[in-house]
Structure 1
Amino acid sequence: DVAYTRQPVRLIGHHAGITLGFYGTSHHATEDLAITRSIAGLTVIAPADTAALAAALRASVDHPGPVYFRIGRGRDPDVYPAGTTLEIGKAVEHGTGSDLTLIATGSMVHPALEAAAALTADGYSVGVLDMHTVKPLDEAAVLKAARGSRLLMTVEEHNVLGGLGGAVAELISEHGVPVRLHRHGIRDQYSLIGPPTHLYRHYRLDAAGVETEAREALLA
C-alpha cells in the first residue's frame, strides 16, 4: 500500500532473522529481505548496529518513498562509533581483498569483520563490504569487488534465496563478471528453536562460523 502510493513511511522490522531464538520458527524472520526486495519502490536497509541505525534514520529524512529497516534485538556488537554517517545505497568498504570479499548486511557485519581479521592474520587478502542498503544495491561496490577478488561471499541472517546473496548473484550474472560467489546464510530451511547464540553457532553465522565457511569456500 505505501510503496504503490510512494508514501514517505518508515517501516521497522525488529527482532529479524533468528534473534527471537526460543520463541520458535513462527517468530523467526528469514524471508523478509526477499519479500521486501520484490516490492517496487521500497528501499530496504539493514543497519549493522545502533550507530548505523541512527545514521540510516537520519539519512532517510528526505529520502523519497517508503523505507523498510531490518533490525535485530538491540544487542548487536558495536561496529561504528556514535555519530557515524552513511549514505543510502552506498556500501561501507572495510578494506579490499584479492582472495576474498565478504559482503555482509545487518547483524552479520560484525562477525564478517572478525572473520576477515582472522583470515588476514593467516595470510589471506580479505576485504569486507557492509551492504547496509540491500535495495538499491551498491552495484559499483559489488562489481569492483567482483573484478578484484577471486571469491565473493555474501553473509546474511536470512535464507540464502532471494536476499542479499540473490541480489549479488543477479548483478554479477547480468554483467558477466567471471567470479565465484558463495552465498552464506540459512540454506532454504525453517530455522531451529534455541538460544540465539546457539543458533548462530549452528548455522555458522558467528565469527568462527563465517571464518570456517570462508576457508572452505576458498579451498573449494
Structure 2
Amino acid sequence: MRDAEMANDLQSDGLDLRVSLFSDLRVSKCGLDFEHQAQNEGFRFVAGVDEVGRGCLAGPVVAAACVLDPAKALPKGLNDSKKLTAKRREEIAAELKELVVGYSIARIEAEIIDEINILEATKKAMYLAIANLQPQADFLLIDALQLKQIFLPQKAIIKGDAISASIAAASILAKTYRDELMREYDHTYPQYGFSSHVGYGTKIHLDALRLFGHCPLHRKTFRGVL
C-alpha cells in the first residue's frame, strides 16, 4: 500500500507527485477507467474529490472525498450530480453510503469564503475532506483542480464528475449533503426560499435580497448580494 509516508519520500527524491501516471484516455462515459489505471500502478485507496456550491450566493462551499469498492457494482445511473434529478441523487447517495470503502464531507462557511475567496475556500474544503477520509487515500482523482499543498499522487480531470465514477460519487454525496443543509436553513430564513434554489442566484433569490437584504448565510463579496 502506498501511503502519505511514501508520498513524502517521493517528494524528497524530487519527483512531481502531480505528474499524470495515465496515458491519454478517451473516456466518454462515467466509469472506473481512471481508478483502474491507478490501481494497476499499485495504489489501493483511490479517492475521487469534488465540490458543490462554488457559484452560490449563500451557504457554504462543500467538498467530498470518496473511495469506491472496486469489487462492488456501481449504482445505476451514477453520473455528474448536475445531470441527475434531485430524487435520483438522493437514491444514489443512499446506495453509495452502503457500498463505498469510505467517504468524508467538509464545508467552508460564507464568512470564511468572504475572507479568503471562493477558490481558496474550495481548496480548503477539499483539503479537509481528504484529511478526514478513512481509510486514508493514497491517490487522488480531483475534478479540475490540483491541490499542491497535499503531497499525494493526484490527477486533475476536467469535467471529471462526468467520466470518473469516484469523482461523480463525491459530487453526489456533496450535493445531497449541501441541499439538505440549505433546506434546514430555510426554516431559519424562510423569506429567501433556500429550499428551492439552495443558495443559487435565481430570480426569486435576487428579488428576496432586494426586498430583505442579506442574512448571515450570504457571501457579501459576491455580486448581487449587496
User: Under a length normalisation based on structure 1, what TM-score does the superposition of the two structures give?
Assistant: 0.28
Q: Report which of the two structures shows the higher radius of gyration computed on alpha carbons.
A: 2
- Identify the structure with the greater helix proportion: 2
Report the TM-score when normalising by structure 2. Answer: 0.27
- Structure with bigger strand share is 1
